[in-house]
């Protein structure tokens, strides 16, 4: 639902009101939908009521102004619209009974903060990320219901037709209804596995924005911002869950470098970034969260990734990076996550500590163990850089060609093309 330009075009004030309404609606959408789903137990009713509340706001706010508490106004208006619909369809009793079954507000032992601070958005997040749903559906639903992104925006983010994404979201909502997936925080014994699914979705949402593909912007800041917002909610409600703390730290420390990551439409490598352009506020917050994780001392994947980023953002210059600490952290991460991507990133750190020849032998061994890396542009880009440093220009050029063949991020393509062009032809 795109609101840009909403309202009368006759005056600048109306245009401003339309922009203000769009901003408020985006900010309040997740809270509004979550509240309506809790109350009525039906995602479709919640979305329809929210849309009707928006239409009412577009009609009234340009003249009356944005109310002092716009979230409460939207919630009240949407709730009234939902009740009107249920009365019209004579489904109120059935829907209320279903809502009572789906919404279990009974206390669970050992849930700590959930008993005192139940949060509708957290409940909805767990519903969106239920293991009965396909992983791609979890991400799409999270963005739609909690992020307030339109179906078109989500489709664009994942490079699929809008009709395909609409069908994916519709199927997921039907699955929730048919399987009677509950709208609640899981019981204590189920919580660890379910939290992992939520964290994984938030990490993927962030990466989709930070490593945006296609011909559009190289970074989709609205996606990274939404992932951080949801990670903050999760951390605030689960302060003693170290992986939730670690994920938030990781996202903040990565986001802190975003403005320096692209210059003139081209990717800027970490070593070459202007560190004066990094967001020191986000870095300080991220470092504090990493220290919280160290105090808990139950390391997990996101905590170790955050610690690696903390080492990078702590170094005043690239030359001052403590690569031995980075490699040690990657050694720990490999024990937690044996994916070839982690091993590839470890090899990059090894190149700084033990030299490009040692790293290249590890990278080439990775391809033999995981042939799927041949379709991953960062694998070929890493090989190209290592070969370049070893003076093997012709091989490096071939590796750059392989990377460009499978890379669709505009900023990265610009960087790879320039680096390839700088190579001398003589080996």
CA separation (Å) from 145 to 89, 129, 236, 388?
Answer: 24, 12, 20, 46
Residues 28 and 93 placed together within one structural domain of the fold? yes
Residues 93 and 125 placed together within one structural domain of the fold? no
* pTM for the whole structure: 0.74
Average pLDDT, the chain: 84
Residues 123 and 210 placed together within one structural domain of the fold? yes
* Among 369, 371, 368, 326, CA closest to 347: 326
Neighbours of 324 (CB within 10 A): 12
Residues 247 and 205 placed together within one structural domain of the fold? no
What pLDDT does residue 139 have?
83
Last residue of a domain, one of 287, 304, 332: 332
How many domains, in total, are found in the chain?
4
Residues 309 and 352 placed together within one structural domain of the fold? no
Residues 328 and 344 placed together within one structural domain of the fold? no
Please check whether residue 233 lies inside any domain of the structure: no
Q: Which residues pair with 214 in a beta bridge?
A: 409
Percentage of the chain exceeding pLDDT 90: 48
Cβ atoms 62, 17 nearer than 8 A? yes
How far apart, in whole angstroms, are the C-alpha atoms of residue 91 and residue 198? 32
Using only the alpha carbons of the chain, give its radius of gyration.
24
**CATH, residue 371:** 1.25.40.10
Residues 297 and 358 placed together within one structural domain of the fold? no
Cβ atoms 180, 173 nearer than 8 A? no
Question: Which has more confidence, 250 or 214?
Answer: 250
The least confident of 58-72, 209-223, 358-372, 390-404 is 209-223
Q: List Cβ neighbours of 287 (8 Å cut-off, separation of 6 or more).
A: 249, 253, 310, 313, 314
Please check whether residue 1 lies inside any domain of the structure: no
Residues 317 and 355 placed together within one structural domain of the fold? no
* Among 143, 16, 168, 43, CA closest to 103: 43
Which residues span the domain enclosing 140?
Answer: 119-216
Residues 426 and 390 placed together within one structural domain of the fold? yes
Last residue of a domain, one of 74, 102, 130: 102
Please check whether residue 211 lies inside any domain of the structure: yes
Residues 129 and 96 placed together within one structural domain of the fold? no
Is the pLDDT score of 6 beyond 50?
Answer: no
Residues 352 and 368 placed together within one structural domain of the fold? yes
Residues 124 and 210 placed together within one structural domain of the fold? yes
What pLDDT does residue 152 have?
84
Please check whether residue 129 lies inside any domain of the structure: yes
Cβ atoms 35, 150 nearer than 8 A? no
How far apart, in whole angstroms, are the C-alpha atoms of residue 381 and residue 67? 52
What pLDDT does residue 213 have?
56
């Amino acid at each position: 639902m795109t609101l840009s330009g909403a309202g009368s075009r006759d005056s600048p004030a109306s245009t401003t009101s339309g922009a203000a309404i769009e901003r408020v609606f985006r900010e309040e959408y997740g809270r509004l939908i979550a509240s309506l789903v809790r109350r009525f137990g039906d995602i479709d009713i919640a979305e329809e009521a929210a849309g009707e509340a928006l239409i009412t706001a577009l009609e009234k706010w340009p003249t009356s102004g944005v109310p002092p508490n716009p979230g409460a106004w939207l919630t009240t208006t949407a709730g009234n619209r939902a009740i009107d619909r249920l009365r019209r369809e004579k489904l109120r009793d059935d829907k209320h009974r279903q809502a009572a079954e789906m919404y279990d507000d009974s206390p669970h032992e050992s849930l700590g903060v959930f008993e005192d601070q139940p949060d509708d958005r957290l409940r909805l997040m767990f519903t969106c990320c239920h293991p009965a749903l396909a992983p791609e559906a979890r991400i799409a639903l999270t963005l739609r219901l909690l992020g307030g992104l339109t179906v078109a925006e989500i489709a664009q983010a994942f490079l699929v037709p809008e009709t395909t994404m609409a069908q994916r979201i519709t199927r997921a909502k039907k699955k929730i209804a048919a399987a009677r997936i509950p709208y609640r925080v899981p019981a204590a014994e189920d919580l660890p596995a379910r939290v992992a699914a939520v964290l994984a979705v938030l990490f993927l949402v962030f990466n989709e924005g930070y490593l945006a593909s296609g011909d559009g912007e190289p970074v989709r800041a609205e996606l990274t911002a939404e992932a951080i917002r949801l990670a903050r909610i999760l951390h605030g409600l689960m302060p003693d869950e170290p992986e939730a703390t670690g994920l938030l730290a990781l996202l903040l420390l990565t986001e802190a470098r975003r403005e320096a990551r692209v210059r003139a439409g081209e990717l800027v490598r970490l070593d070459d970034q202007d560190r004066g352009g990094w967001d020191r506020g986000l870095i300080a917050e991220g470092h504090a969260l990493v220290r919280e994780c160290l105090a808990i001392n139950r390391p997990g994947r996101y905590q170790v990734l955050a610690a690696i980023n903390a080492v990078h953002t702590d170094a005043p210059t690239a030359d001052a990076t403590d690569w031995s600490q980075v490699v040690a952290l990657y050694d720990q991460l490999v024990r937690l996550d044996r994916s070839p991507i982690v091993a590839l990133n470890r090899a990059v750190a090894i190149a700084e500590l033990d030299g490009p020849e040692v790293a290249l032998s590890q990278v080439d061994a990775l391809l033999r163990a995981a042939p799927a890396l041949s379709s991953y542009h960062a694998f070929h880009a890493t090989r190209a850089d290592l070969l370049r440093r070893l003076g093997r220009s012709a091989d490096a050029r071939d590796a750059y060609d392989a990377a460009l063949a499978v890379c669709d991020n505009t900023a990265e393509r610009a960087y790879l093309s320039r680096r390839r062009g700088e190579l001398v032809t003589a080996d």
